[in-house]
Structure 1
Amino acid sequence: MILEAALLHVKPSHEQQFEHDFAIAGQYISVINGYKGHSLHKCMEQENKYLLLVNWETLEDHTIGFRQSAEYLEWKKLLHHYYDPFPVVEHFEKVLEN
């Protein structure tokens, strides 16, 4: 299992519309092979900062399966104009769990 993590800095005063559009965008990512679920967290200290976490079966399910799909183009259309700066996306694998 791979965890994708991205800090999303949404343009100030666009948070409410971003959250609305993000809920819609979930339909595009959730149909991709290897997708295992996602969550969006809003920062308590900075109102326009979010943390996106997505669970994937493999790294390639995200980097190829999603990023090279028609669904990604729809996701991008809905969400990418909200970010400033554009987020860095990183992938993690679990090494320890309590």
Structure 2
Amino acid sequence: MILETALLTVRPGQGPAFERAMTEAQPLIAATPGFLGLELRPCLEAPDRYLLLVRWERLEDHTEGFRGSDRYARWKSLLHHFYDPFPVVEHYGESMVSIPAPCG
């Protein structure tokens, strides 16, 4: 499993519009073979910042499958105008360390 990460900073005051656009865009990415799930988390300290986490079976499912699809053009038109600055997208491999919470 590959974890795609992006720290998304949206233009000031555009958070609610960005969240609506992300809701509309979600089916576009979800239709991609190899897509395993998506989380969008708001930053508690910065109201215009979000953490995007996307799980993929393989790196190529994102870099070639989704980004090479017609759906990606629509994704870009819905979301990319919100970002300032444009986010850095990175991909991470399997967890090297995993510590469960203590029981009880």
Q: 1:37 Cα deviation (Å)?
A: 0.4
- Percent pairwise identity: 51
Are 1:82 and 2:73 an aligned pair? no
* Structure 1 residue 32 corresponds to structure 2 residue 56: no
1:91 corresponding residue in structure 2: 91
Instruction: Give the number of equivalent residue pairs.
Output: 98
Deviation at 1:97, TM superposition (A): 2.1
Whole-Å separation in 1 of the counterparts to 2:86 and 2:67: 16
Root-mean-square deviation (CA), in Å? 0.6
* 1:91 aligned counterpart, secondary structure: strand
- Where in structure 1 do 4 or more consecutive aligned residues deviate above 6 Å? none
Equivalent in the alignment of 1:7 = 7
Cα distance in 2 between the residues matched to 1:97 and 1:79 = 33
Q: TM-score normalized by structure 1?
A: 0.98
